[in-house]
Amino acid sequence: MSSSLSSAEPRGSRPKRFLSPASIMIYSALLVAAIYYLIPLYVMIMTSLKGMPEIRLGNIFSPPVEVTFQPWATAWNSACTGLYCEGIKVGFFNSMKILVPSVILSIIIASVNGYALSNWRFKGSELFFTALIFGAFIPYQVMLYPLVIITRQLGIFGTLTGVVVIHTIFGMPILTLLFRNYFVSLPPELFKAARVDGAGFWRIFLQIMLPMSLPIFVVAVILQVTGIWNDFLFGVIFAGTKNFPMTVQLNNIVNSTQGVKEYNVNMAATILTGAVPLLVYFFSGKYFVRGIAAGAVKG
């Protein structure tokens, strides 16, 4: 056999083709999808940077000729939400006041729930868990009126406490599922070793389990922050007019009927409202996907 022939024979690592037909197809499909989803955002940002005269010309895709940040300032400081004209910043701070205690409270309770349900099985714990998960499948509408009555009886209807309690309760099924599945996946022998070492319920939780659970806590925070921030229904029902969250305020701005529709202000207010979950998604995409997978795959 001649040497020139043998050099053409396969040898070593297989050569990789830089752009195969398959990858061209995949990338072009992804590109189209990305553009499709980004166009609304593009239109919103462009509109929010235009003045009203320019908007009236109707070229929604064209970039602003004269960039102005006035709509953003108006949206934040002085847009009218019903009777008051203090901008959407009121809603932002209301949402924060609802968000922070709701997230902390629901995650603390759910993590202890999940830990107890995975490691300290008691008689009927499976039934308890099933009932809790079943709660996630009951439509909210069914529970709204009873909850209104209950919170009214407790004297927390239309208060910050009321809406925080409601968010905590409704976060329970999915968060407990999340934490239980995570704790079940930890090696059971660690728990046994800690028991032989004499640690009790809380010590095992705080000193052994918690330090190993950072990923799932990040996932839980992401789920709760985006979920509670985007909530409209509970905010409008349980928070009371003074505590309307940002989403409700946004609706009041956009849907106000008197005067001219200030599209640029509406766009700016909407982007401001969506900024929090958007930033959360942006900086935690990996954990967020993991959270979805953890909730969906194992069960």
The contact set with other proteins (CB under 8 A) reads 187, 189-190, 192-199, 203, 207-208, 211-212
Closest distance between other proteins and the C-beta of residue 194, in Å?
8
Nearer to other proteins, 21 or 198 (CB): 198
Nearer to other proteins, 195 or 286 (CB): 195
Closest distance between other proteins and the C-beta of residue 202, in Å?
12
Nearer to other proteins, 155 or 188 (CB): 188
Instruction: Return the biggest CA–CA distance within the chain.
Output: 95
Angle (CA) 291-292-295 rounded to 5° is: 85
For the chain, give the number of residues: 299
Reduced to 3 states (helix: H, G, I; strand: E, B; else coil), residue 68 is coil
Nearer to other proteins, 208 or 233 (CB): 208
Torsion of CA 166, 171, 172, 176, to 10 degrees: -170
Nearer to other proteins, 212 or 292 (CB): 212
Closest distance between other proteins and the C-beta of residue 112, in Å?
19
Closest distance between other proteins and the C-beta of residue 129, in Å?
18
Let me know: does 268 contact 79? Beta carbons within 8 Å. no
Nearer to other proteins, 129 or 244 (CB): 129
Closest distance between other proteins and the C-beta of residue 118, in Å?
15
Let me know: does 232 contact 251? Beta carbons within 8 Å. yes
Closest distance between other proteins and the C-beta of residue 126, in Å?
12
